[in-house]
Chains A and B, each alone.
Chain A
């Protein structure tokens, strides 16, 4: 059984690496977007799946990262690679403040604070026209080459590989994190925060740290999106996106890192397929989502694992 799993992984990895050779440009665009959204969903899983911190404002990370990298690429002539990582880093650093503020509260109030801060950012993106371009957003964002004329990442295929590398890198970082002593404490907070505090952990610091890391990775995804799409607009900060990414995490399977990536791909596929077929695609998607919460809370990834090991003992 283990051999089969490994084989599946090798096929998926090979498929992703070789995709640009076989897929038409239009499909490559979709795949690149799925990879970026996958990274975004995975970043939320650190908070939601491993720490049970429900962010309703994760679009703030994505949108902020997108505006930051977009602004850097438009106004500073900074090369693509640097702009993307600078934007991600900036998002993560600012998120320390977000984490500090939001962890003043717990439970639903925490979620609403994340939402409120995201909406605040959304409002600012309309008003601060000189930087954000107001309701038009930033357009014509280039994939600036460099340094030293290094242009490989700026082509469409090159950019796909950059996004893929970020996803894989992000995955490895998250994996190391959740398997470390730090990750063990996060799971403790998820299952019983009061007890974790009583054991002598300063849980608030852990939560702030995980918010910063999660937002930083979400910012990385957004920072990739701006040069991918060529624009950054207010929709990237809107609460609908925060909701959608939460759906990706849950439909994919929270607390698994891989599941949310799967969920993002599934979301993209559904959006694309359903919207070609019916105008009411979001309605069906909502129904599918409700069905998942009711009947398969472990998500797609959980379903796949259940199929692989049908007789799992006990709850």
Chain B
């Protein structure tokens, strides 16, 4: 009975962790799928989202406003960055993007440190989401349940958006053949700006959602960028479903690894990635790279 309850709460925990990872991975993979850009600044934008969320929440007193505002602010910042800098690089090789977004990661990281200081900041969850519920006899934070639910909602929303909406169709068309899409009258410049913005906004959403759990700190960018890449590489660069699978896999590996073998938890993640790449160099759902 109590073993089962423990297992249940662990699964719930892993699901909420997977949700957080999914917000990270999906933005990265969306941007890569469309633009063939590896956005190294993704972790920094996630962190920026957490801090902007903190400021909005402490200014307005509303967590919900922060949840809506931070992705918007960071998304617009992403659009501006694409418009002013990335756009100059489409004719260059892929490494130029890597370098520029790496530079952006440094700049954002420093800007955050200078603006908000080096201390970790706590973003309290809204009252209705604080506290615990009991899963059978195990106490479990309500906020983590909320995360898991949000993850499912966002995953379904993005999926429907890509599959059903007109804009989603444009995005898929452009990512499969940009020249053809352009010839058919798609304004690919606009689509690229938009997708880059959406990707950055998703990173920020992940940041705000994570903030009540992990506190907003300067170190969070480095850890999450690696997690994000691991997920996307396991799933296959550019594959939406792949990022979902990768996030679930790593979420479970992290939570169960932490519980049963805390000393090796970090190593498990890399071992999983290595194993996947040995078997399928392009990732689980990726094309051969």
Contact = CB atoms under 8 A, between A and B. Distances in A.
Contacts of B226: 115-116, 119, 239
Given A106-B289, A115-B229, A116-B230, A293 B99 contact: yes
B96 A293 contact: yes
A186 B251 CA distance: 39
A172 interface: no
Interface residues of A, number: 39
A109 B277 CA distance: 9
A199 interface: no
B274 A283 contact: no
Contacts, number: 105
A111 B110 CA distance: 24
Interface residues of B, number: 39
Interface stretch (B52-60, B131-139, B262-270): B262-270
B88 interface: yes
Contacts of B94: 107-108
A246 B38 contact: no
Contact of B274 (A54, A101, A127, A250): A101
A285 B100 CA distance: 12
B274 A113 contact: yes
8 contacts: A109-B283, A112-B230, A115-B226, A116-B270, A243-B106, A247-B103, A283-B110, A297-B92
B114 interface: yes
B214 interface: no
A163 to B, nearest CB: 27
A240 B219 CA distance: 11
Contact of A293 (B38, B103, B281): B103
Contact of A283 (B106, B230, B278, B281): B106
B222 interface: yes
A12 interface: no
Contacts of B256: none
A286 B274 CA distance: 31
A198 interface: no
A-side binding surface: helix, strand, loop or mixed?
A: helix
Given A109-B289, A120-B270, A243-B102, A286 B237 contact: no
A287 interface: yes
Contacts of B109: 282
A105 B289 contact: yes
Nearest to A113: B277
The 8 closest A-B pairs by CB, nearest first: A286-B106, A283-B110, A286-B107, A290-B103, A289-B103, A123-B266, A293-B99, A282-B110
B289 A290 contact: no
B104 interface: yes
Contacts of B111: 283
Nearest to A287: B107
B100 A116 contact: no
A117 to B, nearest CB: 7
B229 A294 contact: no
Nearest to B222: A239
B104 A54 contact: no
Contacts of A297: 92, 96
Interface string A267-282: 0000000000001101
